[in-house]
A and B are shown apart, each in its own frame.
Chain A
Amino acid sequence: MSHILDANEAVASVAHRLSEVIAIYPITPASPMAESCDEWSAAGRRNLWGQVPRVEQLQSEAGAIGTVHGALQAGALATTFTASQGLLLMIPNLYKIAGELTPFVLHVAARTVATHALSIFGDHSDVMACRQTGVAMLCASSVQEAHDLAAVAHAATLESRIPFIHFFDGFRTSHELQRVEELTDDHLRQLIDEAHISAHRARALTPDRPVVRGTAHNPDTYFQAREAANVFYDACPAIVVKALERFAEVTGRRYRLFDYVGHPQAERALVLMGSGAEAAQEAVEWAVARGERVGLVKVRLYRPFDGAALLAALPKTTKTIAVLDRTKEPGAPGEPLYLDVICALSEAEAERRSPLARAPRVVSGRYGLSSKEFTPAMVLSVLSELSRENPKNHFSVGIRDDVTHRSLDWDASLDIEEPDVVRAVFYGLGSDGTVGANKNTIKIVGEETELYAQGYFVYDSKKSGSTTVSHLRFSPRPIHSTYLVRHAGFVAVSQPQLVNRLDVLELAAPGGVFLLNTPFGPDEVWGSLPAEVAEAIVERKLRFFVMDAHRVADEVGLPGRVSTVMQSGFFALSGVLPRERAMAAIRRAVEKTFRKRGAEVVERNIAAIELAAKALREVAVPAAAATTARRPAAVPAEAPDFVQRVTSMMIAGKGDLLPVSAFPVDGTWPTATTQWERRAIAREIPEWDSDLCIQCNKCALVCPHAVIRAKVYDPAELAGAPEGFASTDWRASDGATQRYTLQVAPDDCTGCGLCVAICPAKDKSSPKHKAINMEPVDGLRDRERVNWEFFKNLPEVDRRTVKNDVKGSQLLLPLFEFSGACAGCGETPYLKLVSQLFGDRALIANATGCSSIYGGNQPTTPWAKDAAGRGPAWANSLFEDNAEFGLGFRLAADAATLRARTLLDGLAAQLPEALVSGLLLADQSTEAGITDQRDRVVALRRLLRDIPGPLSKALDEAADALVKKSVWIVGGDGWAYDIGFGGLDHLFSTTADVNILVLDTEVYSNTGGQQSKATPIGAAAKFAAAGKGIGKKDLGLLAMSYGHVYVASIALYARDAQAVKAIQEAESYPGPSLVIAHSPCIAHGYDLSKSGDQQKLAVESGIWPVYRFDPRRLAEGETPLKIESGPIKARVADYMSREGRFRAVELRDKERYARLVADAERFVRERRAFHEQLAGLKVANETQQMQGAGR
């Protein structure tokens, strides 16, 4: 039976049916395998033996593999899924599991390991880091193969006893949709030999037949015992061959350890594995058809490496071989597959058993790191290199290396795809449903016709206003094109503004169709296009159609969801299916997809289809493109050189064209670059009403993107203000005559509306009008752009004069701005606040997660600098080690301070005594103290110029360390509560002066909403599809239990003054400080413009406690804990009823939900009672204690 699946689902379908225990942990791009298994088990789907597999989420991949190890030892059939850093965390256990000859399959969506940068995309650097562990490694290069080889791996591991890593390329295969012939349960039964399962169970640990495993050996025995397993490795390749043959008998699909494709007398051959082998097959077949003697070996079983089988697969005529590795091992003699091939050949030659006619010349190449495109043109370039007398070795292909000149050139314009392959490209937004509709299209065509279908989806790195590009192919033959569509006969753009941001016709093939969603009709649209688009339409003789998809979507009551409308346009114009049949098929698909969302959703989508057909209009294309405006530059002219040369290319989607020389060599990038990327994604932005404003600055406080700024300035500064620049008298308590302006950055607002919701100032005559109101951007943008530029140049406030309260904090310059976080993000306001208060002296260690992505994903990053060039210095190490990483920052900063002070001591005699004592004894607890110390450092440096010698030079270098540094350790709840908790807990046990900010969204937000130990009772999340059954971990209480840790639980919208105070106290506390921040997130499933009210309800119902625990209070005879939530005056049930994550549980099972609500209410009461008792504790001092003892 054939279905449209991606490899993650195709693999999970096999793994779930062949397992009893599934231990999971989320990591991109492998998470969907675990999610599917969790959903299926939650829905009662059974394995091959009639049981529902038990799915258990762990705190890390190390935990997942430990659980698998235990389950295997105790006799279960167990599996897990992972990638990249997750796989690296499993390595210690892989050695153990292999050493104990324990059968299981680990399915890996192979992903880049973080080096100079993190990348979520695909290559083999993770799996290659496991090749030495003793696991067998089986590689699939397509979705069908991933499905098939998953089953083969399960069969072979049981017979061979060697654990298998079954891997396929992350994203390119894991997320590619293809038509897959699905294995039935019956197929699987025929593949799996029950006798091997019995044998596995017979080896299990049981007190009924006790044995010990995991003993410790001494030099006398370890070595021999290690060699004792050799026979199993020797036997393994033959067992895999047997499993593959059995598979061919059962299904008719045949695979070998090494599959050869190409000319039977090839002279030039490629050896590679993974999805690249598919593109290589396409290129090789094309070349062979043109008479070239070339071929390709696809590696399937990579470990144990059967060199003889590899050589046997090559034609005897082979003269030159290029071994292509999708990984890089700097400093190695070559990449791993290359070394293996060299070794196999060399040994065969030495032992005179090589089947080849002559010893071939072998070269090595790298391609496709981090999902870099690997196209037939690149393959042909490699084959062409092999024709040269002295082919380049250790080359790269797919990039331009203008530094070490190792890259091969290729013909980017070459198109070898057959003309009957329908190729379509759709530009859309992550929020408009384009990807979902295209997935449906592929399902329609793939399941309704004989055509093969393929879909692959490219996302940009933003979380708000992100663009998507969908690449679709339909072909009468199986599709091996594992690369993006290069020449599209159909291009659709679902958002009118994208034509001004991206080169949307870059891929449009001559004579193709271009469909644009635009409010303009066929007569007006031409004038709205940038010249580049108009010219491309004319030059390439495109047929140009328009439709107002937004109007259709509005009319049917699905505002913004233009995807179904555009999908109808595709079927009407592309001719993939006859029109009537296509429309009927879309209707069926809509019914199928949306049925579970309800009849209303179905009806509205169907109405959209009907209306779409009527909305489609063809545009008469003029003979020549009339001169129209060019597309605006990606960055403004005043942007710095690096931004002009490098960043702008990345913003424009042309990063592939940048050569090696453009890049920093060590992953070090300039900060403050989001200011140059003017995204202009909001349809409405806030407008300030200066007459109504009470200058509370709450709007600026909550703005997640730092687009609302407040300044107080001298009236004289208004000279030269643009017309319409709003300004009003500053309501100063000291009666000073200054002006106040609240300014919006119009191009950086996401339109979330939080500022308006939080604004307390209402017009008395018309209370819906506030001091800040959302207005359509079209009427405001031009004016506010000018105003913003003027505002930026108004002087910044003197930090020494600002009060330490909500209002004062928002007069400080944010050094975290315009991030790519979601509209309405609940995390970023905290980071912005920290940046305002301490950013000019902050070091930030950021755990991997949302905050490391919106904080550090290229092309632009939001951590910024002040006029003096100071600002947060930021780095991300890993997910699991952030507490330790930040501790390292503190230790280094302290060491630098100590070095500076020591040097200062050494030079004290040559410096004014007052300056030296000032520097050494400075009180840096206030802004004034910091400023004074900075002034002293300047004075010191001036004096050092006149003091010769190395000590003086060293002090000059070290002097900045005399100014106090603020170390912030930032991460989400996945880090703090789960994977990083061990390190975090250790940090609590130290006296290090670090500030830990936990942005608690109560879910793994970045990887798509998996539960964490912070997830509250009753919430649905991935891995907790039925709703979490137990309460949230009390992280604050755990930290308080140490006694010396400052702890605060804060909620910025509900208790802003407390939050601002807590963050300042945490920073001032000279030891570890933990601040847990309530962070509304789109994974909570409600309109985040309401998150202010919802957070208030969280606090008032007690579900989110607000408190400060300051150990300093003990010395004053007070209890350290102060509860600041106020009395409980709302019901937990009301709080829960307003968020989709809870509602999803209610919709699924009302009775369970009612129980969970009751449990949540009890949980809240009990926690509150416990906290109150803690807050009421009186600690007797020593004298009182002695007196008590005396009595």
Chain B
Amino acid sequence: MSDGNYFTRDRSWHPPAYTPSYKTSVVRSPNKALISFPPTLSEQTGPVFGHNILGELDNDLIHNFAQPGESAIGQRIIVHGRVLDENGRGVPGALVEFWQANAGGRYRHKKEGYLAPLDPNFGGCGRTITDAEGGYRFRTVKPGPYPWPNRQNDWRPAHIHFSIFGSGFGQRLITQMYFEGDPLIWQCPIVDTIPSREAIETLIAPLDMANTIPMDARAYKFDIVLRGRRSTMFENRPEGN
């Protein structure tokens, strides 16, 4: 194994479990302290996914649920970036999954009650695997903001959910991507679970005109950072191992 143990996760950078303005967290937040131990093989290893799982349209949400010859309605965008570790190294071979509401802010889900209509040509899920430099990209429509039951009038900013696997299960992460310039970001109780503005800014994707496809789709750049791992040269190991 070329990778050493993880950097300690900075829990003060992440949202705490208990965030009363996001009401659902109140009864779903552990009260007791998390217990720490040195990372074991259970955290250092993790599932690996091969390109054989990917279908041709998995990274194209405009078409992967659409009828032949049709496409999803909405603002066409490319989302691209790199999966990095805290050392700034690209993470190759990482499975990245994403899901989102349609252009009107409606999810294709049994428990979704927003009155905005479903798009018959939009499912809302996609996935890809990072290349040798940790790069990834996919095509979709820009999701709409949507209201949600929390306080009387809470709206989620437009966002895309991301699930990322690193090289070990200890790097497992789920997060959300927001869009540059959306005023709802600063009014959202879920965004606000993140303690610092500096940390929130790292989830806001800028418009990337350089990578826009003229007359077709605008681009947004979203880099994702997973926990770093030390170099293995001086790892503390029992004699003989």
Do A and B assemble together? no
